């Protein structure tokens, strides 16, 4: 549906209703000192066809567009999106305002969120999930704050250095103005989190581990969970690639208390970094400390099944001092897409797709090893892994870029100690020919 502006007659009619003679008079309450008096330096207006051509020209200026093969994940993953999702989401009723303040008017929205919550708890192996949070990074930050609320008198949280660097930065921004302290845990030579120094930190409310972590390495969550609980802390599991849990044991089965991460892989295009959604789940005993919205099932006066907001512990709904979160968006459309994606694939479909991602990455590893490249971490990985080449890989990277292949991410930007090492990602969208082309450019 195209945007159609109001006609002059409609504007006059609306002004008459509110008792104003002109649009300028409509804004008479704004002091003159606060109003701009002059002509703004805007370009000349374009008609619809000129504007469409102009936007297309701007898009062509992007060096990397949809015709490129991008072998980078690092928190944002390119997966095939079932056509069923595109078709169903094109229905206008799913793109309307979604804030379900009046349950009698928002049963569709509430049921969609309820189904999403159910699917998330099954995927992550947890008791309860909320209606989502802004994104994976803010979900982790909210998870750490929740851990501090549960622990009450403890003032520190520990976060693995293998957690996505952007997530750690967001968590720091959350905690910096508070009296709480965030400590980073080192990464061992196997690419996994080293907890050997946890006991010496003391006063730790919660410990956050990402698996698969930023290096693609699968953490030993069961062992880590036992050690974290033995230290008297809550165990928080983070993730950027939820598809991995179609193949791996879920966090709940590994003893996690809080699970939070990014759901972009489930039916959402990368779109220059957004929109996305933060998945958030926990054990039932902590539900009163969980941030965001929670939709529950109930019955109406006629005994029919219905849905309502059961918990809304955020400042948009309750007094600020009692709110557990100040995030005012639960990414309603994104959660609906994620629910559609999980429903479309089902448990067996997610398992098959995860296995395909894993197998393609292992094939790529084998091809690179055959050329003498070193896979830096020997721990199991999911669809990402770190590679060290015998020679400077940058010239090869540039050659591949000229062939419309973006070959990995230099880790030096995030981890100076790994400068010159490249993080590669392979999903089901990477054709064997592209994988072989990259390996073929590597000098043995």
Instruction: Specify the range with the lowest mean pLDDT, choosing from 16-30, 39-53, 94-108, 361-375.
Output: 94-108
* Residue range 8-17, pLDDT digits in tens: 899 999 999 9
In three-state form (DSSP H/G/I as H, E/B as E, the rest C), the secondary structure along 409-433 is EEHHHCCHHHCCCEEEECCCCCCHH
Residues 140 and 229 in one domain: yes
- pLDDT of amino acid 320: 63
Q: List the structure tokens of 9.
A: 């007659």
Q: Which domain-ending residue is among 291, 313, 342? A: 342
Are 282 and 257 in contact, with CB atoms under 8 Å apart? yes
Residues 334 and 351 in one domain: no
Mean pLDDT of the 201-224 span: 95
Residue with tokens 């921004």: 173
* Residue range 44-98, pLDDT digits in tens: 989 889 999 999 888 887 777 778 899 999 999 999 999 989 888 887 777 665 5
- pLDDT of amino acid 345: 93
Is 32 domain-assigned?
Answer: no
Mention every residue, 6+ apart, whose C-beta is less than 8 A from residue 290. 128, 130, 146, 280, 282, 311, 313, 324
| Mean pLDDT, the chain, whole residue set | 90
Residues 353 and 422 in one domain: yes
- pLDDT of amino acid 91: 78
Coil/strand/helix, residue 381: strand
Q: List the structure tokens of 79.
A: 């997966």
Of 30-34, 257-261, 271-275, give the range with the top mean pLDDT.
257-261
Residues 150 and 234 in one domain: yes
Mean pLDDT of the 229-249 span: 96
Q: Which domain-ending residue is among 342, 375, 395? A: 342
- In this structure, the strands spanning 204-210 and 293-299 are unpaired
What range does the domain containing 300 cover?
83-342
**Residue 379: pLDDT over 60:** yes
Band (3; pLDDT cuts 50, 70, 90): low
**Residue 100: pLDDT over 90:** no
Mean pLDDT of the 118-129 span: 96
Residues 360 and 300 in one domain: no
- pLDDT of amino acid 1: 44
Give the residue from 240, 247, 243 showing the smallest Cα distance to 266.
243
pTM of the prediction? Answer: 0.85
Are 374 and 444 in contact, with CB atoms under 8 Å apart? no
Instruction: Please tell me the distance from the alpha carbon of residue 63 to that of residue 142, in angstroms, as a whole number.
Output: 36
Instruction: Specify the range with the lowest mean pLDDT, choosing from 36-50, 53-67, 346-360.
Output: 53-67
Residue with tokens 């990477």: 430
Band (330; pLDDT cuts 50, 70, 90): low
The full DSSP string for 278-297 is EEEEE-GGGGGG--SEEEEE
Mention every residue, 6+ apart, whose C-beta is less than 8 A from residue 314. 291, 292, 293, 323, 324, 325, 326, 327, 328
The secondary element (H helix, E strand) that includes residue 307 is strand 305-312
Number of domains in the chain: 2
Residues 170 and 191 in one domain: yes
Residues 360 and 325 in one domain: no
Is 294 domain-assigned?
Answer: yes
Give the residue from 179, 173, 139 showing the smallest Cα distance to 155.
179
Residues 430 and 415 in one domain: yes
Is 352 domain-assigned?
Answer: yes
Residues 241 and 318 in one domain: yes
Q: Which domain-ending residue is among 342, 369, 390? A: 342
Residues 136 and 229 in one domain: yes
Band (105; pLDDT cuts 50, 70, 90): confident
Band (354; pLDDT cuts 50, 70, 90): very high
Instruction: Please tell me the distance from the alpha carbon of residue 433 to that of residue 204, in angstroms, as a whole number.
Output: 49
Would you give the DSSP letter of residue 7? P
Residues 292 and 353 in one domain: no
Residues 76 and 142 in one domain: no
The full DSSP string for 88-121 is HHTSGGGGS----SSGGG-HHHHHHHHHHHHHHH
**Residue 359: pLDDT over 50:** yes
- Domain containing 89 — which CATH number? 3.40.640.10
């Amino acid at each position: 549906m195209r945007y159609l502006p109001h006609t002059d007659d409609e504007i006059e009619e609306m002004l008459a209703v509110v008792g104003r003679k002109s649009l300028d008079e409509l804004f008479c309450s704004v002091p003159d000192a606060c109003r701009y008096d002059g002509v703004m330096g805007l370009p000349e207006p374009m008609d619809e066809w000129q504007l469409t051509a102009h936007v297309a020209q701007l898009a062509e200026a992007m060096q990397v567009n949809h015709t490129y093969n991008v072998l980078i994940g690092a928190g944002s993953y390119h997966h095939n999106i079932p056509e069923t999702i595109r078709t169903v989401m094109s229905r206008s009723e799913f793109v309307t305002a979604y804030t379900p303040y009046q349950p009698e008017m928002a049963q569709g929205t509430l049921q969609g969120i309820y189904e999403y919550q159910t699917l998330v708890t099954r995927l992550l192996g947890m008791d309860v999930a909320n209606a989502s949070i802004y994104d994976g990074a803010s979900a982790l930050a909210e998870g750490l704050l929740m851990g501090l609320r549960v622990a009450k008198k403890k003032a520190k949280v520990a976060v693995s250095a293998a957690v996505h660097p952007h997530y750690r930065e967001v968590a720091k921004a959350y905690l910096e103005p508070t009296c709480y302290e965030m400590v980073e845990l080192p990464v061992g030579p196997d690419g996994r989190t080293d907890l050997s120094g946890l006991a010496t930190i003391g006063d730790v409310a919660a410990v956050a581990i990402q698996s698969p972590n930023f290096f693609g390495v699968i953490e030993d969550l069961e062992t880590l969970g036992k050690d974290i609980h033995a230290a008297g802390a809550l165990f928080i599991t983070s993730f950027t690639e939820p598809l991995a849990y179609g193949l791996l044991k879920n966090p709940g089965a590994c003893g996690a208390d809080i699970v939070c991460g990014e759901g972009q892989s489930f039916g959402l295009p990368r779109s220059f970094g957004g929109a996305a959604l933060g998945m958030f789940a926990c054990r039932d005993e902590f539900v009163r400390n969980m941030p965001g919205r929670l939709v529950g099932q109930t019955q109406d006066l006629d005994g029919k099944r219905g849905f309502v907001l059961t918990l809304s512990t955020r400042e948009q709904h309750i007094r600020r001092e009692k709110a557990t979160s100040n995030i005012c968006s639960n990414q309603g459309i994104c959660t609906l897409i994620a629910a559609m994606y999980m429903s479309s694939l089902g448990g067996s479909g997610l398992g098959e797709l995860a296995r395909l991602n894993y197998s393609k990455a292992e094939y790529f590893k084998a091809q690179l090893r055959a050329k003498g490249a070193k896979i830096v971490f020997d721990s199991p990985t999911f669809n990402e892994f770190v590679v060290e080449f015998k020679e400077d890989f940058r010239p090869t990277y540039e050659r591949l870029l000229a062939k419309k292949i973006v070959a990995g991410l230099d880790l030096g930007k995030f981890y100076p100690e790994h400068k010159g090492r490249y993080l590669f990602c392979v999903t089901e969208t990477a054709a064997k020919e592209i994988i072989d082309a990259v390996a073929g450019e590597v000098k043995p």
